[in-house]
């Protein structure tokens, strides 16, 4: 059987990340130096998978660089035709295609108000790249599968490079440069487990839980499973989940948890213990053996991946799970129902 487009693009992620890092690390540092002192906070405009990348940026820039981050509501600009005061903002637009009109409208208004703008996109010739003051191309190569994979992980890495630039910390760059190897190692660990994923072929609902840096991972994995299989998967932070939604857990209820080592490790361990005690069918993505022991199915992440970069690696098992569930359900992973590769919302 020939490989699907989605499978090829999942496997291309180590090379895509290497291309981005090799081509853009110097540019990111130079760009950050130019921007330094010209803004007080970052306003991010994004949709879909790119919006999940923006959630990562919220944690990254605030914790690594002490820069406040806000997420734009694009319809305020594009549908309601309102113009929020963007004084002090750096407008950062994330869009794999660089074509969605609502994202363009945020950047255009920022430019009208004299605010600096940066685009992160896989198409350096796109309308977004043309109107932004500067662009960080993803260098991921053409992405033809409808479900985004390599443009998501390279978007995260692009923001990690920009964060390194703002911090001007060579140790951060050394860690970013290890990403292709960590991603390759994770793929090698996870791909042999695809047969065990058939266990979930009749799954019709579930939750995905992460916190901190991996809050974005919960959203992205939930989106991938929904896109590829039509299964209703709802993302939560562990804190929000305990404030009510935990009442939905019953025997056999699927709970996928991202439990990376770091500041929220203990919180996630306590959640895993609770949902396992309630009878949940638990899937765990973690670099911590204690966390993986709670899983009916667990995916091991290489040791040494720092929490601030872990979303780039932790999303991979979720991508593979979504791809395999589509196959086990008799669906075409390259042609999810009702979707097209480029979605242009206004």
Helix (H, G, I), strand (E, B) or coil at 235: strand
Which has the minimum average pLDDT: 16-20, 131-135, 340-344?
Answer: 340-344
The C-alpha atoms of residue 271 and residue 254 are separated, in whole angstroms, by 14
pTM for the full predicted model: 0.95
Tell me what the pLDDT averaged over the chain comes to. Answer: 95
Helix 150-167 crosses helix 13-35 at what angle (to 10 degrees)?
30
Confidence of residue 246 (pLDDT cuts 50, 70, 90): very high
Domains of the chain, start order: 5-177 (3.40.50.10490), 182-328 (3.40.50.10490)
In contact, 235 and 208? CB cutoff 8 Å: yes
Q: What is the mean pLDDT of residues 296-323?
A: 97
Pairwise CA distance, residues 248 & 339, whole Å: 29
Instruction: Tell me what the mean pLDDT of segment 326-335 comes to.
Output: 92
The pair of structure tokens assigned to 325 is 């569930």
Scanning the chain, the segments in alpha helix (DSSP H) are 5-11, 13-35, 49-64, 74-78, 101-112, 127-131, 150-167, 170-176, 179-190, 215-229, 238-242, 265-277, 289-292, 310-328
Q: What's residue 335's pLDDT?
A: 85
Residue 339 has pLDDT above 70, yes or no: no
The position carrying tokens 């260098």 is 139
Task: Please give the Cα distance from 273 to 286 (Å, whole number).
Answer: 15
How far does the chain reach from its first CA to its final CA, in angstroms? 40
DSSP string covering 231-264: -EEEEEEHHHHHTTGGGG--TT-EEEEE--SSTT
Q: Which three-class secondary structure state does DSSP give residue 317?
A: helix
- Tens digit of pLDDT for each residue in 180-214? 999 999 999 999 999 999 999 999 999 999 999 99
Please give the Cα distance from 179 to 44 (Å, whole number).
24
Helices 215-229/310-328 angle, 10° precision: 20
Q: 3-state DSSP call for residue 154?
A: helix
Predicted confidence at residue 2, as pLDDT, reads 62
Task: Note the pLDDT of residue 337.
Answer: 77
- Cα–Cα distance measured from residue 57 to residue 79, given in angstroms and rounded to the nearest whole number: 25
3-class secondary structure, 210 = strand
Q: What pLDDT score was predicted for residue 242?
A: 86
pLDDT tens string 133-172: 999 999 999 999 999 999 999 999 999 999 999 999 999 9
Q: Tell me: the pLDDT tens digits for 104-120?
A: 999 999 999 999 999 99
Report the pLDDT value the prediction gives residue 218, as an integer from 0 to 100.
Answer: 98
Alpha-carbon distance 248 to 252, whole Å? 11
- Packing angle of the helix pair 49-64, 150-167 (nearest 10 deg): 20
What is the percent of the chain where pLDDT is above 70? 97
Strand partners, 134: 118
Structure tokens at 139: 């260098």
pLDDT in the model for residue 75: 93
CA atoms lying within 13 Å on the CB side of residue 166: 23
Contact 342, 101 (CB under 8 A): no
Query: Which of 237, 235, 236 lies closest to 212, judged by CA?
Result: 237
Q: What pLDDT, in 10s, does the model give residues 18-47?
A: 999 999 999 999 999 999 999 999 999 999
């Amino acid at each position: 059987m020939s490989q699907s487009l989605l499978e090829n693009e999942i496997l291309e992620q180590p090379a895509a990340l290497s291309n981005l890092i090799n081509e853009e690390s110097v540019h990111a540092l130079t760009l950050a130096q130019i921007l330094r002192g010209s803004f007080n906070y970052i306003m991010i405009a994004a949709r879909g998978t790119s919006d999940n990348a923006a959630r990562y940026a919220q944690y990254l820039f605030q914790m690594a660089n002490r820069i406040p981050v806000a997420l734009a509501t694009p319809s305020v600009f594009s549908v309601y035709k309102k113009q929020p005061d963007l004084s002090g903002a750096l407008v950062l637009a994330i869009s794999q295609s660089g074509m969605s009109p609502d994202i363009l409208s945020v950047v255009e208004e920022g430019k009208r108000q004299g605010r600096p703008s940066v685009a992160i996109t896989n198409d350096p010739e796109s309308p977004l790249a043309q109107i932004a003051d500067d662009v960080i191309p993803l260098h991921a190569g053409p992405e033809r599968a409808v479900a985004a994979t390599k443009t998501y992980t390279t978007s995260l890495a692009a923001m990690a490079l920009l964060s390194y630039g703002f911090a001007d910390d060579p140790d951060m760059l050394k860690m970013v440069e290890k990403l292709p190897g960590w991603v390759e190692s994770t793929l090698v660990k996870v791909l042999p487990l695809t047969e065990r994923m058939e266990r979930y072929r009749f799954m019709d609902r579930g939750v995905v839980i992460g916190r901190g840096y991996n809050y974005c991972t919960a959203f992205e994995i939930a989106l991938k499973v929904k896109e590829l299989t039509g299964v209703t998967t709802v993302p939560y932070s562990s804190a929000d989940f305990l404030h009510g939604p935990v009442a939905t857990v019953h025997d056999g209820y699927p709970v996928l948890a991202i439990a990376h080592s770091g500041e929220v490790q203990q919180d996630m361990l306590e959640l895993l213990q609770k949902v396992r005690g309630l009878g949940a069918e638990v899937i765990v993505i973690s670099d911590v053996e204690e966390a993986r022991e709670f899983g009916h199915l667990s995916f091991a992440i290489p040791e040494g991946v720092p929490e601030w970069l872990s979303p780039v690696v932790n999303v991979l098992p979720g991508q593979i799970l979504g791809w395999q569930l589509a196959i086990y359900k008799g669906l075409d992973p390259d042609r999810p129902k009702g979707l097209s590769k480029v979605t242009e919302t206004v």
